[in-house]
Amino acid sequence: MTIAANLGFPRIGRRRELKAALEAHWSGRLDEAGLREEAARLRLAHWRLQQAHGIGHVPAGDFSLYDHVLDTACMLGAVPAGYGWSPGDGPVSLATYFALARGADALPALEMTKWFDTNYHYLVPLLAPDQRFTLTANAPREAFLEALAQRVRTRPVLLGPVSFLLLAQRSDGGDPLALLPALLPVYATILAELAEAGAVWVQIDEPCLVTDLSAGAQAAFRAAYDTLAAAAPALKLLLCSYFGGLGDNLALAAALPVAGLHLDLVRDPAQLDAALAAIPPERVLSLGVVDGRNVWRSDLAAALALLRRAAASRRDGARGLIVAPSCSLLHLPVDLAQEDALEPEIRAWLAFAVQRLEEVRVLTLALEQGEAEPSVKRALAEAEAAHAARRASTQVHDPAVAARLAALRPEHARRASPHAIRREKQAARLNLPPLPTTTIGSFPQTAEVRQARARFARGEMDAAAYDAFLESAIADSLRWQEEAGLDLLVHGEFERNDMVKYFGEQLAGFAFTKHGWVQSYGSRCVAPPIIWGDVSRPAPMTLRWWRHAQSRTAKPVKGMLTGPVTMLQWSFVRDDIPRAGTCRQIALALRDEVADLEAAGCAAIQIDEPALREGLPLRRADRPAYLAWAIECFRIAAGAVRDETQIHTHMCYAEFNDIIDAIAALDADVISVETARSRMALLAAFTEGGYPNEIGPGVWDIHSPRTPSAEEMTALLRQAASRLDPSRLWVNPDCGCKTRRWEEVRPAVANMVAAARRLRAELVAAE
């Protein structure tokens, strides 16, 4: 029979229960036993929910208390020295686990970066040149047995050995793949123990199969799967690729000794024909035909047509197929049924994780029993009606937006003068000291701030009272910034719920959820907006609060905006027009905001683009086209200002080496980047690439609760000054301080200002 399967389910819970439990544990309000109990409750609820929706292959081992890559590293004993664990110690303690994730005392957290081209962040394993791998605890086996004890049979999931190494770093800069021979025996043990426990199928995720692979990586896949297939011959291995097509790796994947292969037919439906020709007809195919990353309801008829084509090529027909989402549902909100406040017309077009399970069930039933089966017939008709209604909707397209796009010219994406000329004019206008200090934009969203926002939203506080509260919070933050000695100030963003949502709520074409939360990392969750129609700006969005802030200080205050690419990447984007078109619409809306800020006297405007690298296609051949329109959109947003107005941008938690030319092409006057967690290693991209403009390498990792000393920050700044012209350096944290407490922010900023002053003095003394 055809199998209905899922590759992974959101961990956070319908109402972010995991977030609440984690933060209660970190604050000391919930002990370890309580945290583990809540995690077990969530796992069981998710297993049973998937089972209730007809999923035959329910994943086990996809749950994590922080990050699945970190889980894998801890399972394999890949724990750097000094974190309280040594080979032979057995399972990694929760204290060590969270120290690796968040830092603790003098221990920095592991480097964090984006999971392929998603907004999920993973912890980068740090491996020694002579790394010894050891099985600390067989987590997939434990999850399988835990589910079995609750009468739920599951398919264990683990991150594959080759992708694990390709996602890791070696402390000496060497090739992690050289460690494969030491790693494979541990994976072999994991599989052998799973077979002994009674597992039938095991899902091994190898998302790196959809990237450009070196000859060494291809050889690593062949060696790895020869070993794994021999480790437990009775076990059926399902090799999972996702986030794109296999492309030139198809022959490699087809030749690996596995029982089944998963293809992402949402990202690359065109790969099906080549795959059917290359993959032996007796091999089981898992086909990802419903979208695990976007929220638009599936075209069930089109998905069913793909499945029928595949079934015709299999030796066992439809019984040789597994129907599945394109990837783990980790990237979707949990359940659309909670969104009773969404406009009904838009709600009818959507599907979240639970609805994706139902789509998988319907498609599987359609293959087995045909389209005439009553529930299948009804579901197909409802899906087609929803698609037809969306195509016919008069709300989606705005002729004024189309006309403005048609009027765009190359000069709209250019500043009037090159940076060298702009820099002199900006220096004269701002009159800042060498190594100017600033922050990225946001300050702590305290309980008081959140409560005031919630009371205003519920109608318990009127607009006048809420505005007065915000004005007071801004004034207090400005007074503190002046006392701390910061040079370029920010207003703190107390009025903003989220760096994308705040703007989306004021733009046409965006919709918002109440419970549409998605995990970004650890306990950090975001509720991405849904871009369903043409985007425009009905009225100014930030001007009122910038004007108030600037009126309270003689020092310059930055205007703060989220850039067009990040607005796009951190939203669920409409799929009826090219992404580039939607991004240009957002860029034009932001261009209007930039012009209004400048006209009001704003001397420095920050347009954050932390997601620029995230949007980079996984294949090198596809990158030039993306970068061309992404750069163009940023420059459209920034291009209207005069030379003396300084444009800042911010990027964090990404590898910059492969896009350094594109970052330079943005032509921002100042860029701030994350470099503290990597100990300035990421700065190499800017030094080796000859980045021409000004740069603020972060000296404080705000995603860790530890407060670095002034000495530690000074040492980082010295590293930066040894690599870059000190006259081009700024001093700032890695990211905004929204998630930190004032008790952490105040001393860290004081240390940062002290570090800047110390290095200024050293530079003067050296002249």
| Domain assignments of the chain as residue spans, ordered by start | 3-392, 401-766
Give the three-class secondary structure for 675: coil
**Which positions are annotated as active-site residues?**
703
Q: And the tokens for 76?
A: 């394999």
In words, the CATH class of domain 3-392 is alpha beta
Q: Is residue 125 helix, strand or coil?
A: coil
Confidence grade of residue 704 (pLDDT, cut at 50, 70, 90): confident
Structure tokens at 722: 């040894």
- Is pLDDT at 682 greater than 90 in this prediction? no
Which residues have C-beta within 8 Å of that of residue 382, sequence separation ≥ 6?
none
Q: Residue 224 has which token pair? A: 């790895």
The answer on pLDDT for 657 being more than 90 is no
Instruction: Judge if 3-392 and 401-766 fold alike in CATH terms.
Output: yes
Q: In terms of Cα–Cα distance, which of 106, 105, 107, 76 is closest to 92? A: 76
Question: What is the H or E stretch that residue 696 is in?
Answer: strand 694-697
Using the 8-state DSSP alphabet, how is residue 604 labeled? E
- By residue count, the chain amounts to 767
pTM of the entire predicted model: 0.92
3-state secondary structure of 524: strand
Question: Which tokens sit at 665?
Answer: 């092409």
Portion of the chain with pLDDT greater than 90, in percent: 90
Q: Residue holding tokens 């195509």? A: 391
**CB 326, CB 265: distance < 8 Å:** yes
Summarised one tens digit per residue, pLDDT across range 86-140 is 998 999 999 999 999 999 888 889 999 889 999 999 999 999 999 999 999 999 9
Banded model confidence at residue 654, pLDDT cuts 50, 70, 90: low
Question: Is pLDDT larger for residue 510 or for residue 652?
Answer: 510
Closest C-alpha to 285, from 255, 311, 248, 308: 311
**Is 90 exceeded by the pLDDT of residue 702?**
no
Per DSSP, which regions of 634-765 are E strands? 646-651, 670-673, 694-697
Query: Which token pair is 443?
Result: 């300050």
Question: For residues 657 and 616, what is the distance between their CA atoms, to the nearest angstrom?
Answer: 12
Average pLDDT over residues 719-725: 90
- The per-residue pLDDT for 653 is 60
Query: Which architecture characterizes domain 401-766 according to CATH?
Result: Alpha-Beta Barrel (3.20)
Q: What is the pLDDT of residues 413-445, one digit of tens each?
A: 999 999 999 999 999 999 999 999 999 999 999
Residues 495-548 have pLDDT tens digits of 998 889 999 999 999 999 999 999 999 999 999 999 999 999 999 999 999 999
Q: CA 674 to CA 697: how far, in whole Å?
A: 6
Which residue, chain included where needed, has tokens 């705005």?
398
Q: Two tokens at 715? A: 């040492």
Q: At 94, is the secondary structure helix, strand, or coil? A: helix
Instruction: Residue 743: count other Cβ atoms within 10 Å of its Cβ.
Output: 10
